[in-house]
Amino acid sequence: EIVLTQSPGALSLSPGERATLSCRASQSVDAIFFDWYQQRPGQPPRLLIYGASTRAAGIPDRFSGSGSGTDFTLTISGLEPEDSAVYYCQQYSYSPYTFGPGTKVEIK
Amino acid sequence: QLRLQESGPGLVKPSETLSLTCTVSDDSISLNYWSWIRQAPGKRLEWIAYVHSNGEVNYNPSLESRATISVDTSKNQVSLKLNSVTAADTAVYYCARGSTGRYFWGQGSQVIVSS
């Protein structure tokens, strides 16, 4: 089973700042099968990025994804108050399809 | 817009069977794959299984011996049964469109396993 590790576990930033979230896989995965999700309090996860770098429909362009192999990054440029959430990475290159533990982003 | 509504008992006794239903709001149930994913307190999201109306199913090996996923196109519903539950099965259970990724999620159904 592929284990995903996310860092940092949490970060607190001010509106307008940039957040850089990392996800590392225990072995190389195909970037085509790598997603990022956002989960706001009391809400289900929402797809942000698929294929490591493609924004899902309706996702603002301040969200961007990059990476390959074992290292992937989600960048949020110009944080907005509504970006306060937990962000999860997911790989589905290999079954079972696994998720990271999440990074909690707090907006000061 | 697609809506997924999970429903279930909320409270299940240890050793019993957990049964959940997901009602799909539009006519896409035969066209898509459907999954169940759960989120236990303090734990990461865990994919349970996916199903297609063509009969294709796939399970997480960690749960395969206890889980059964099915789809009923006449009712626009996707179901999950998990038998021999323990406290470790306490979680929010999500229904989602998709098989392996790019999920669109329902609101979730809280299930507590307790006597």
- Contact yes or no for B105 and A46 at CB 8 A: yes
pLDDT at A102: 98
Where do we find the tokens 């989960």? A39
Count, residues in chain A: 108
Interface mutation vs chain B, best among A1, A90, A103, most B CBs within 10 Å:
A90
**What average pLDDT does chain B have?**
96
Where do we find the tokens 């998709």? B98
> Reduced to 3 states, what is the DSSP secondary structure of residue A17?
coil
pLDDT at B1: 87
Distance of alpha carbon A65 from alpha carbon B104, whole angstroms: 19
> Reduced to 3 states, what is the DSSP secondary structure of residue A82?
helix
pLDDT at B28 over 90: no
Considering only CB atoms, which chain A residues are within 8 Å of B61? Answer: 96
Q: Which amino acid is at A83?
A: D
B43 near B58, Cβ under 8 Å?
no
Does B104 lie at the interface with A, CB-CB under 8 angstroms? yes
Span B48-83, pLDDT tens digits: 999 999 999 999 999 999 999 999 999 999 999 999
Span A5-62, pLDDT tens digits: 999 999 999 999 999 999 999 999 999 999 999 999 999 999 999 999 999 999 999 9
Distance of alpha carbon A85 from alpha carbon A9, whole angstroms: 12
CB atoms near residue B84 (< 10 Å)? 12
- HSE-CB of A97 using CA atoms within 13 angstroms: 26
- Contact yes or no for A95 and B104 at CB 8 A: no
Does B46 lie at the interface with A, CB-CB under 8 angstroms? yes
Nearest residue on chain A to B4, judged by CA atoms?
A44
pLDDT at B26 over 90: no
- The secondary structure of chain B, three-state, reads CCCEEEECCCEECCCCCEEEEEEECCCCCCCCEEEEEEECCCCCEEEEEEEECCCCEEECCCCCCCEEEEEECCCCEEEEEECCCCHHHCEEEEEEECCCCCCEECCCEEEEECC
CA B41 to chain centre: 17
B35 near B47, Cβ under 8 Å?
yes
Count, residues in chain B: 115
The β-bridge partners of A72 are A23, A67
Considering only CB atoms, which chain B residues are within 8 Å of A46? Answer: 105
